[in-house]
Structure 1
């Protein structure tokens, strides 16, 4: 049932949001010259997939988890995108393709070994990664791998349709800080 919701809502989001996506892409082009950010992430069953987002950091920024990146790498437009969570919109394409869900554990990087080990122990990779989830609305990010994996496991084990919509609504309403970047 959740996969059906993912397909319907991601398709609606991409179609109805197309003018916004186009506008953000054009503005992003002037901001960094490369508005779309692609990064290999750990997906369901630990299979790699290419996550797409709007670029919020300078093009030459190292490919590390956000909490390890420097705040000086974030562009002025990137601050706006992160604050409004609009940088996440292109991930609707990942959801439509079945690589992600709207709600699930945030996909980590392959170089985040501690997080990967904790998630393997807890069966987190049996679920599709998501754009948002319990950890995100609880302001738990990838800087605390054990807590993040425990929260992901809890969400996966107890997920209801009501939770699915609640996490989406909480995210849209601005709950959660997203991935923190060191100051």
Structure 2
């Protein structure tokens, strides 16, 4: 890794922290989104910043590997669990769909295909929620999640190191606004 790549990666993780910070300040009550979505991405940003400092703060590679898995498998399922809070079974299914691939990654037997399938199912569920409830920010969050989880890792060496945290920041920004948006369709006057 070059010094310029590390600097760009550290800055991208700081941007992620800056977007997540205000969202953490607005957390309330019992929710999965608080720790699973906002705090998880904030911690990933902090650890990513420390990891890409070229060893100035010590070796954070093991912690970064854990936070990377958490940032990949937990945010969207936790968001979906909160959006489906009225249906306890569906809420639990969403949480479990994130915890299973995360637990596999922690145990050292990561299954990327299973993880990608769980991510895709949760993104599709988020898009359906956006359609059903007319929530425009849910559409934006689903799009940002698709780019973050499926396009950014394919963007060469800069994708996982720089584009992934920046796309997570966009996803965080949109995801925080899901709760505050509804599309009002106005019929034209006749």
Question: What TM-score, normalized to structure 1?
Answer: 0.30
Q: Looking at CA atoms only, which structure, 1 or 2, has the larger radius of gyration?
A: 2
Which structure is higher in helix share?
A: 2
Kindly indicate which of the two structures has a greater share of residues assigned to strand: 1
